[in-house]
Amino acid sequence: MKLKRLIPLFAAAAVFAPMIFAPSCANTTQAPTGGPKDSIPPYITNIVPLPGTLNVPTAKTKIVFTFNEYVTIKEQKNIYLSPPLSKAVKARITGKNLVVTFEEDLRPNTTYTLDLTGAIADNNEGNMYPGYTYVFSTGDRIDSLYITGIVQECSTLKPVSGATVMLYKNHADSAVFLERPVAAVKTDEWGYFALSYLQDTLYRLYAVRDDAGDNLYDPQADLIAFYDSLVQPVLKVNDTVPELLKYEMKDTAACLARKTRYTLNLFRERPSKQYIVNKVRVSDRSSYITFMAPDAWIDSLWIKGYPDSRIITQFNIQQDSLEIWVNDPRPVPDTLHLFVNYRKTDTTGALKPKLEHVKLYQEGKKKKAVGYNARKEIKHEDTICVYKLNVKGETVEQNGFDLEFRDPIIYEKFDSLQFIMVNPKQKLIDGKYDVEKDSMNLRHFIIRPREKLIAGWEYRLKLPHRAFQDINGFWSDSTEVKVKLPDDDKASSIELVVSDVPGKVLVDLLNETRKDVLRSYIIDGPCTLLFPYLKKGKYCIRFTEDLNRNSIVDTGSLLEHRQPEKVRFLKIQDDIFIDLPEMTELSQTASVKQILKD
């Protein structure tokens, strides 16, 4: 149900508010009878000064909203003034009145809006006041234009609630860091925003997830979105414009029907400063250091007392975390002295060579026990080469058997593994396999069967005793895992025939919440992708344009005017969700070039 503005700009309308709402209120001429629970939200019966008042004093300004019943402030931060001041507005309840004051002077000749959406509830049942945007001016006119849009996460395109959308007349890149906006508003639960009562001029448009609530952008803490070009409002405010009305957030049809002109994709910028932020000694021979920004540039690295040949290092894919192992059979001291010669950000913001001494302590190391007590303290995992061997029936055809060691291995005998296929008659057949080493993780391997897997067969992978030795000198135990292809006769599948691939693209199958990636492919040409063994439910298929071909979704940069890598979803009849029934083989075509097109 639409909830229209409770008080329009015309001052006389305030008088009629009680009449408008009277039919839906309880009969107050007789005593309560213990009837149904009150579900009617409070409403405003008067405002001083009236909406649309001009020449409001800039100092010691006070606004009083009178409600039809006793109310409480549910969320103080949702009482939001635009343009914002350096200090948040002050609000208090006196009787049935909400009194709003300001701790600093207002700007002269400025149109202000005060939004109460999501801030007020009645005292008894907690029914939320649906919201109202109050407007006044410290000058002799009310600005009359507006713009609308939506803020969404850059990787999932899910709407972002509570983001601060900001307009700046100052077009310099530094404005969002140093100045407060000339107009601002919070997004609702649908990520929707309407900035109203604007001047006819050119603006820079940003959105920030402002954790500090100071209406400034802090790149170390906040997420940011920006529109590529300048924006100029052209639409005029009117009390009947659907985009400016207040709606129940559960009214999906009404909320989605609102027209939007601007779409902002929220992302976290890469930190601009580079330095070592963390150091952890994981075990005797294992440590890691993390850097503030990705793409750390290390000129040299060494550990006191050990030659280079005894040090193993590995960066993660973002190159902001470095794992370090000591590959030496001798006892390792409680403190390792690591020296890192890397490019660190200096006081001028430039990257300069810096030699840093990092002490890696073996935290919480207990005093060594002797004799019988020492044997009691030793766990089995302290004496073996630790690894994980995982496999899932739903993904074994694509991903194989997943083998990952806790520490790097110095001896391996992959040809001693046994891959056994068991047919429905329980006949055992030796199968062949390939071993793939992960180029980004030296401890990770994929064991991939050569034969096409068959439904109804069982597949076993055996790792024999002492097939691997790690840098601690420990040998591996034996293990065996078994897997079958899913035999759910109600399972469904999606076949996606992909064409017009403009470059390297990441393709993900996600669940309805868009939180879990069920399957992933990396493609760079026409192909057919199969998503089998799916249960009844809703799914979506995401395409990410991998411009730099690094197989990850890269973020954007405000100062470089670079948006995050483009993400789009496959749409079928304007819906990104595929409602998949049971026992269905869905075939779908997709032109990636068309999907990624703006």
- 445-466 residue pLDDT tens: 999 999 999 999 999 999 999 9
Q: What is the mean pLDDT of residues 392-408?
A: 97
User: Considering only the top CATH level, what class is 1-139?
Assistant: mainly beta
pLDDT at 367: 45
pLDDT at 27: 35
Query: Of the CATH numbers 3.40.50.1220, 2.60.40.10, 2.40.110.10, 1.10.3080.10, which one belongs to the domain with range 492-596?
Result: 2.60.40.10
Q: Among 200, 214, 266, which Cα is nearest to 85's?
A: 214
For 411-425, how does the pLDDT look when each residue is reduced to its tens digit (9 = 90+)?
999 999 999 999 999
Q: Among 42, 141, 40, which Cα is nearest to 93's?
A: 42
User: Residue 150 is encoded by which pair of tokens?
Assistant: 């939506």
Is residue 377 very low, low, confident or very high in pLDDT (cuts 50, 70, 90)? low
Q: What is the mean pLDDT of residues 280-308?
A: 96
What CATH number has the domain spanning 143-268?
2.60.40.10
Is residue 20 very low, low, confident or very high in pLDDT (cuts 50, 70, 90)? very low
What SS3 class is residue 124? coil
Identity of the amino acid at 425: K
pLDDT at 552: 82
pLDDT at 37: 67
For 136-168, how does the pLDDT look when each residue is reduced to its tens digit (9 = 90+)?
999 999 999 999 999 999 999 999 999 999 999
Q: What is the mean pLDDT of residues 91-119?
A: 96
Q: Among 186, 183, 73, which Cα is nearest to 128's?
A: 73
Is residue 550 very low, low, confident or very high in pLDDT (cuts 50, 70, 90)? confident
pLDDT at 25: 34
Task: Evaluate the omega torsion of the peptide bond into residue 83 and state whether it is cis, within 30 degrees of 0.
Answer: yes
For 220-235, how does the pLDDT look when each residue is reduced to its tens digit (9 = 90+)?
899 999 999 999 999 9
% of the chain residues with pLDDT over 70: 91
Length of the chain: 598
Is residue 366 very low, low, confident or very high in pLDDT (cuts 50, 70, 90)? very low
Task: Note whether 1-139 and 143-268 share their fold.
Answer: yes
User: Residue 540 is encoded by which pair of tokens?
Assistant: 């979506």
Domain borders along the chain are: 1-139, 143-268, 279-361, 381-484, 492-596
pLDDT at 459: 98
pLDDT at 581: 96
pLDDT at 34: 53
State the DSSP H helix or E strand holding residue 252, giving kind and residue range, or none if neither.
helix 252-257
What CATH number has the domain spanning 279-361?
2.60.40
Do the beta carbons of residue 161 and residue 188 sit within 8 Å?
Answer: yes
User: Considering only the top CATH level, what class is 381-484?
Assistant: mainly beta
